[in-house]
Structure 1
Amino acid sequence: MSAPELPFFVYGTLRPGEVNHDLFLRGRTLREEPARLPGALLYDGPGYPYAVEAPDGTGATVAGELVTARPEAYARLLAELDRLEEYAPGDPRNLYERVECEVLRGGGPASEGPVRAWTYLAAPVVAARLRTRGKLIEGGDWLTRR
């Protein structure tokens, strides 16, 4: 069974102006718009971030972009993003898990409503380590971490 062709919620190096945006997304998207992932925390990683479900599931938000791929580029882009994020279905060595999440369009409180999107969240073993020893990015926005 193939994965549904959902948009992607990106929150780190795939955002506009970041290192992987031009390498993977330029010319392959129909739309890129501000969005938020509610119920998640953002942790600093070795040059890239990890989104982790918030323990209470509320209050925290991760900022990013909702990226809609061009239909003709979708399958190849999905495979390339899975490789970039070191994700393989069912592999216990995954750094990330590709998860279908509900994200909110718009960057602020007056969002345009929920959208289902693929999001790469920290794999369970990575998430557990981050929750105990990780460096939280206050405000949940990778672009303001410095």
Structure 2
Amino acid sequence: MSDFPLTRVFVYGTLMPGERNASVAAQGGRFEASAAHLAGFRLLHLTPEGYPGILPGDPGEEVRGHALTYAAGDWAHALPLLDVLEGVHETPPLYRRERVTVTLEAGGRVPAWVYVYADAARLSRPGVWPVPRGDWRSVSGR
């Protein structure tokens, strides 16, 4: 483990470039977005909420998204914004932040944070749909 703080987050839904919460990611500061995927997780779409969540899945499953790598000096500002959007500190939490390894489409595997859906009670109610191929942008009517 490195002595340097991890300043990368894997996003797979509304925080991706071009999506409705991309501006929240941008408020955090300077970052580079790289297409990436996360193996061993499955992607769900929640309606009527209109956003996705991921859960641990089978080794063959994967989620497609982007790795946002923030400038080291901007990370301290970005992380609290992202945590608030994802409801990390709500009671009960909506998502929890976990450390994972993602594969960049350009090649290489890198460590990143990811927000994993944490509201187990919500998953037992109607409106939870698996997303084929792990690509949230393929969901119509999001």
TM-score normalised by structure 1 residue count: 0.82
Q: Is 1:85–1:95's contact at 8 Å kept on the other side of the alignment? A: yes
Distance 1:27 1:98 in 2: 17
The equivalent of 1:53 in structure 2 is: 56
Match of 1:96 in 2: 95
Does residue 138 of structure 1 match 2:139?
A: no
What SS class does the counterpart of residue 54 from structure 2 fall into? strand
Q: Contact 2:93–2:119 at 8 Å: present in 1 too?
A: no
Counterpart mapping for 1:1-146 below 5 A: 4-25=5-26, 28-45=29-46, 46-54=49-57, 57-88=58-89, 93-106=92-105, 112-123=107-118, 125=120, 129=124, 134-146=128-140
Q: 3-state DSSP class of the match of 2:59? A: coil
Give the C-alpha shift of residue 144 in structure 1. 1.1
Root-mean-square deviation (Å): 2.4
Give the distance between the partners of 1:74 and 1:15, measured in 2 at CA.
17
Consecutive unaligned residues of structure 1, counting only runs of 5 or more, are none
Please give the TM-score of this superposition, normalised by the length of structure 2. 0.84
Deviation beyond 3 Å, 4+ runs, structure 1: 126-130
Measured against aligned partners, the alpha-carbon deviations of 1:7-49 in whole angstroms (never above 9, x if no partner) come to 0000000001101102332682331100001011110021110
* Greater helix proportion: 1
Aligned residues: 135
**Identity level (%):** 31
